[in-house]
Amino acid sequence: MSGLGGLNPSEHGVVIGLVQLQLPVTETPADLARQTARVVELVGKARRNNAKMDLVVFPEYMLHGLSMDVNPEIMCDLDGPEVAAFKAACAEHRIWGCFSIMERNPGGYPWNSGLVIDDEGEIRLYYRKMHPWTPVEPWEPGDTGIPVIDGPRGCKLALIICHDGMFPEMARECAYKGAEIMIRTAGYTAPIRDAWRFTNQANAFQNLMVTANVCMSGSDGTFDSMGEGMICNFDGTVMAHGTSGRPDEIITAEVRPDLVREARAGWGVENNIYQLFHRGFTAVKGGAQDCPYTFMQDMVAGTARLPWEDQVKVTDGTSCGFPAPTRRFGEKRKQEAAE
């Protein structure tokens, strides 16, 4: 049930709209301003499209396209005109919005950042992509963790970006911190279509969590993005799916965070997010609450290493035209702390 795409929402429902935005070409500040205006127009379209819509979600790369251009002239700032325009649009149309920016980073490559702005025009969620799509993407790896907020109609809301969703640990972290709805924005192109679909469903089912996922759409003359807006229910079923790939189409559905909470409390079989931490509770009181996973222990210790580590051939971005990095993660912050 999706309330006919959110046209007939229930008392406890949250209506989500996923914008399969036309893939832009952004090379100059004028292009950036033009694309910002287009996104603002589509916030208005979302409100006109469905008067009951609570949250409109735009894909990753909504302003910058897929060029991977790190030209500082087309980077954004949290206090810049682009974000100000999105705040004003959300306040004007009384709707929550999820947006993507390539954010200026004085200490290195830009961050790939996501924002959720509420219906009064305030930033409620700020996230930096944790897992850039290496070796293609040059973005600085995120260093702010995964925030979970109180979203529209009191839902618990999280945001991850594109390649993040290929790591089951990312969705698990969202759920562990209480998320009932996880947004995944992306710029993926057609070769990733199958992986996109089954990971969106798996992320939902493994965590008893709604996932709302959307890519860019259409062509920029070089790349062809696929749209593929998907809203998956907490049992993994697909509630809405933009299979046409039509640019600027808005895929909508009503989701029910109250039923997520009911399932997490009431499910026995396949309550996997609980059972991960209570292994075999039928046999032993409270279940085993150890950490039997070597990779987790080694990652915390800073010693994680794959058995085939020495055979991995692509370990930097030189194959995609980026120089091999020399700075280690966290060095800039350590230097700032020392000063």
129 is known as an active-site residue: yes
What are the phi and psi torsion angles at 191 (to 5°)?
-60, -20
Which one, of 16, 20, 102, lies nearest residue 61 by Cα? 102
Which residue among the candidates 76, 90, 162, 232 is catalytic per the annotation? 162
Which residue among the candidates 98, 103, 129, 232 is catalytic per the annotation? 129
Place of tokens 């493994």: 206
177 is known as an active-site residue: no
232 is known as an active-site residue: no
Which one, of 53, 61, 58, lies nearest residue 98 by Cα? 58
Work out the number of other CB atoms within 10 angstroms of the CB of residue 267.
16
- What DSSP string runs through 146-193? --EEE-GGG-EEEEEEGGGGGSHHHHHHHHHTT-SEEEEEE--BGGGH
The reply to whether omega before 29 is within 30° of 0 (cis) is no
Dihedral angle sign, alpha carbons of residues 329, 333, 337, 338: positive
- Distance, first Cα to last Cα, the chain: 56
Residues that are catalytic: 60, 129, 162
